[in-house]
Amino acid sequence: MRLEENVPLAPLTTIGIGGPARFFFRATTVDEVREAMAWARHRACAVFVLGGGSNLLISDDGFDGMVVHVDLRGVTLESQHEHVMVKVAAGEEWDSFVARAVKSGWAGIECLSGIPGSTGATPIQNVGAYGQEVSETIARVEAYDRETDRVVWFTNEECRFGYRSSLFKNVERERYIILSVTYRLLRGGRAAVRYPELQRYIQEHAISDDDLPAVRGAVIAIRRRKGMVLDPADPDTKSDGSFFMNPVISPAQYEEFARHAADAPHFPSGSDVKLSAAWLIEHAGFQKGYTHGGVGLSTKHTLAVVNRGSGTAAEVVGLVKMIQERVREKFGVEIHPEPNFIGM
């Protein structure tokens, strides 16, 4: 095994925070994933699986175990009729695949443009943005089962997708390592323009929903003005993107909430009601650019917690708890972080 020791993890994350990994291994094949797991089992060593590093906060002390960086590559076009079936290895960069799909005229993931990270992370979080979620197009997921030492396949239904959730994130957390994801995209389809902000943008710029490249450009433009597109020249992008999930509450809870915040934006979410975490944070007293030690909120978007350059995980956790407590006290609503906390 090409095993390394005491490897700094901060440079492998988009927020640039985190101590070293005691052991580090980059797996480029399924056999290497198996080999790494066998090594860790034999030594009773804790394992953390690292993808693109875009949705996690690593402890300042690092990870006292083995970090396995899944770097499997390859995009395979399995069939192309009315729908296109494309198998994408877990280590492929997500936005590069979105760009390829859009260029090829395959609709279904165009509104997920500009999101950093690896393809293997998309089913775990059920990644979504601007009215679209990957659960709409995922046909199956290939994964390594750490309990049985077998490669297994899941259908879309078996993934148990929900809002920013899945079997892999909630029910069987840490049991499976995603190896590949197969997407079912609509050949020559129109963009799914459902999100009000995106609808306004394409109307203002006279963009047609059958022009996938233009819709992708619109999504990236909106994300960029919020500091949600990685850019070394923009300090607001040194973050994990949207740090808090929009809370979903019952109709009864909303009725109580609306008595104190009738003007708060809200959206239907099945039989429940989704609130805007950004609105809650701002109206709890945290404005854009708020600073807490070496970290703070983006100057463009209150959902993003950014590293000002010398930030620590402890400072991020402190800020997050402060925001949660203030929102709870003022609105009686719980908001939860989206990133995974590692080594804490």
Q: Which domains does the chain have, with CATH numbers?
A: 4-70 (3.30.43.10), 75-225 (3.30.465.10), 235-337 (3.90.78.10)
For residue 1, pLDDT beyond 80: no
Pairing of strands 272-275, 248-249: antiparallel
Is 59 tagged catalytic? no
pLDDT tens-place string over residues 199-229: 999 999 999 999 999 999 999 999 999 888 8
| Confidence band for 231, pLDDT divided at 50, 70 and 90 | confident
Spatial contact of 298 and 224, defined as CB atoms under 8 Å apart: no
Q: Report the mean per-residue pLDDT for the chain.
A: 95
301 pLDDT above the threshold of 80: yes
Residue 241: what pLDDT?
Answer: 85
Residue 110 reports pLDDT greater than 80: yes
The residues, any chain, with a CB within 8 Å of residue 126's CB and separated by 6 or more, are 133, 134, 135, 161, 162, 163, 164, 165, 166, 169
Tell me the pTM.
0.88
Q: Let me know: does 149 contact 37? Beta carbons within 8 Å.
A: yes
Confidence of residue 230 (pLDDT cuts 50, 70, 90): confident
pLDDT at 269 over 80: yes
| The pair of three-digit structure tokens given for residue 217, joined into one six-digit string | 């450009």
Of 325, 327, 326, 331, the closest CA to residue 261 belongs to 331
Provide the percentage of residues in the chain whose pLDDT is more than 70: 100
Is the per-residue pLDDT at 298 higher than 80?
A: yes
| CA gap 275, 249 in Å, rounded | 8
pLDDT tens for 302-320 read 999 999 989 999 999 999 9
Determine the pLDDT at residue 157: 98
Please state, as a whole number, how many other Cβ atoms lie within 10 Å of the Cβ of residue 42.
8
For residues 92-106, give the mean pLDDT.
97
pLDDT above 90 for 290: yes
The Cα–Cα gap between 273 and 109 comes to 24
The edge-to-edge listing of strands for the beta sheet with 239-242 is 239-242, 304-307, 295-297, 291-292
Mean pLDDT over 79-91 rounds to: 95
Mean pLDDT of 264-281: 94
For residue 287, what pLDDT is reported? Answer: 96
Cα 292 to Cα 131, 270, 311, 314: the distances in Å are 32, 36, 9, 11
Q: Which of 1-5, 29-33, 116-120 has the lowest mean pLDDT?
A: 1-5
4: its two tokens? 């390394």
pLDDT of residue 335: 97
Confidence bin at 73 (pLDDT 50/70/90) = very high
Sheet holding 266-269, edge to edge: 248-249, 272-275, 266-269
Q: For position 344, what pLDDT does the model report?
A: 86
Residue 228: burial class (beta carbons within 10 Å; 0-12, 13-18, 19+): buried
User: 260 pLDDT band (50/70/90 cuts)?
Assistant: confident
- Enter the tokens of residue 300: 């463009």
Is 338 designated active site?
yes
Catalytic pick among 140, 146, 164, 223: 164
DSSP summary character for residue 328: H
Q: Is 164 a catalytic residue?
A: yes
pLDDT tens track for 157-202: 999 999 889 999 988 988 999 999 999 999 999 999 999 999 999 9
